[in-house]
Structure 1
Amino acid sequence: MPEILIRAVVTGITAFAATNLDDILVLMLFFSQIDRTFRRHHIITGQYLGFAVLLLISLPGFFGGLLIPRPWIGLLGLVPIAIGISSFFQQEDDEPVQTVSQSSRSVFAQFLNPQTYQVAVVTIANGGDNIGIYLPLFASSTWLELIVILVVFLIMIAIWCAIAQYLATHRLIARPLMNYGHRIIPFVLIALGFYILWENKTHTFLSLLKAQT
């Protein structure tokens, strides 16, 4: 039993790190843009919400059910591209100061915040590799291994957010990110979207569909 648990923990850490290395940069950019309307809890909540969706999509692999073709997974790359393009046209007007205190807002209201959903959507869109790896990983796991791996993932999300926030607030890194992060984010999101499309060979799949029509 201990050997199984140790193996599941190591597998969980390895799988998470391998599929979320690029997520560190995106989280750093998010943390560098924290202000009175975009708060730390929006990033953390959105990260957990988005990752929960990725896990739900991947769970059919454990039950031997529906397997999602990688080209269809790659279509998620269109989401960060759309967000990146729209950010070019966003007005830079200051947001009105919130009249409701943070303490009076319910946890449910935080989930409804557009900022939270934006982080969640980017997390989901950047999860093509996650799904591609988690599906076969879950399919080869026992119930015990699956539970351990999921717990490890949840802990690793918190660690990932802590690392990203530390790097984003480091003196040598924070100032450039604060000054230029909002200009970098659109390019990062668009590049990320094209990478997801290319990595999952979605462009080839769409070309074949077009040729058949």
Structure 2
Amino acid sequence: MDELITAIPAGLTAFSATNIDDIVILSLFFSQVNTNFRRWHIVAGQYLGFTALVMASLPGFFGSLIVPQAWIGMLGIVPIAIGINSLINRDDDDSDDEVETEHNNSVLAKIFSPQVYGVAAVTVANGSDNISIYVPLFASSTLASLPVILAVFFSMVGVWCYAAYRLTNLTAIASTLTRHGKNIVPFILIGLGIFILCKSHTLESSSLTAMTLLAIGSCVLTQAINYWRSPQVEKN
């Protein structure tokens, strides 16, 4: 019984300490909601990404080996790629808001929505350092306390999403995010990716640095080619 009582504050503390920065990212996401990017995309993506982080940390409970931190840091490429895509294709966002295809109404289309995976990818990348906290926490847990900690974690994801959404409803914050959010989100995502790469010591390895630069360069080239081939550019 004592283990169950201590598991709740342990879960609350671990989640809050490792996800406090997610409030900012989630608030920015909620400020960009439109016809193609709904609130449920953000909530579903946050849950999906957090589930991936928990699954990656569970081997600590079983005493298995974990992927090296430097390799985990390569997840920082994901927000950089999304930020670059937003910068290059920002002119297409308004025109895309008016188009909503029929397959988006199907359950499978919603589950496999690219918007959901985009949010999930940012969640995983931003939370890659969470694994270093969750692994020892899970390793020190028992069969009785682990489910309690996991229940606290997944409950807090919902609380975090709601808190971020409520922040965007505050007049001062909402007006600022609405007016400048679309312009600053790409740079925040790129900065987040660079921070993750540096914090995880990924760039201290020459081979990982080369792989990172190759991946980012490929992303820039692909997005540039797609942009110049787009109908909007051809019309101009």
Whether the TM-score (by the shorter chain) exceeds 0.5 is yes
After TM superposition, the score normalised by the length of structure 1 is 0.91
Would the aligned equivalents of 1:74 and 1:201 in 2 still touch at CA under 8 Å? yes
Aligned to 2:70: 71
Aligned to 1:57: 56
Sort the Cα spacing of 1:166 and 1:101 in 2 relative to 1 into closer, same or farther, 3 A. Answer: farther
Q: CA deviation at 1:100?
A: 3.7
Per the TM alignment, residue 202 of structure 1 is displaced from its structure 2 partner at its CA by: 1.4
Q: Could you state the TM-score of these two structures normalised by the residue count of structure 2?
A: 0.83
Matches within 5 A, 1:111-190: 111-190=111-190
Describe the SS at the equivalent of 2:35. coil
The farther-off stretch of 34-43 and 108-117 is 108-117
Q: How far 1:68 moved relative to its partner?
A: 1.8
| Displacement after TM superposition at 1:51 (Å) | 0.7
1:92 CA displacement: 2.2
Letter in 1 for 2:138: F
Q: Which residue of 1 aligns with 2:20?
A: 21
**Equivalence for 1:37:** 36
Change (3 A) 1:74 1:188: same
Q: 1:126 to 1:208 in 2, by over 3 A?
A: closer
Give the C-alpha shift of residue 70 in structure 1.
Answer: 1.1
- C-alpha distance 171-209 of structure 1, shift in aligned 2 (>3 A): closer
* 5+ residue gaps, structure 2: 211-236
Question: Does residue 1:98 correspond to 2:97, yes or no?
Answer: no
Percent of pairs with identical residues: 52
Q: Could you tell me whether the CA contact under 8 Å between 1:32 and 1:169 is conserved in 2?
A: no
Is the 8 Å Cα contact of residues 111 and 117 (structure 1) preserved in structure 2?
no
CA drift at 1:105: 2.9
- Measure how far apart 1:36 and its partner are: 0.9
Any runs of at least 4 consecutive aligned residues in structure 1 with deviations exceeding 2 A, and if so which? 96-102, 205-210
Displacement, 1:18? 0.7
Residue equivalent to 1:200: 200
Q: What is the aligned residue count?
A: 207
Aligned-pair distance for 1:205?
A: 3.1
Q: Secondary structure at the match of 1:65?
A: coil
Match of 1:109 in 2: 109
SS at match of 2:180: helix
Amino acid at match of 1:105: S
* 2: CA distance, partners of 1:101 / 1:85: 27
2:18–2:130 contact (8 Å) kept in structure 1: yes
The Cα of 1:47 is off from its aligned counterpart by: 0.4
**Is 2:202–2:209's contact at 8 Å kept on the other side of the alignment?**
no
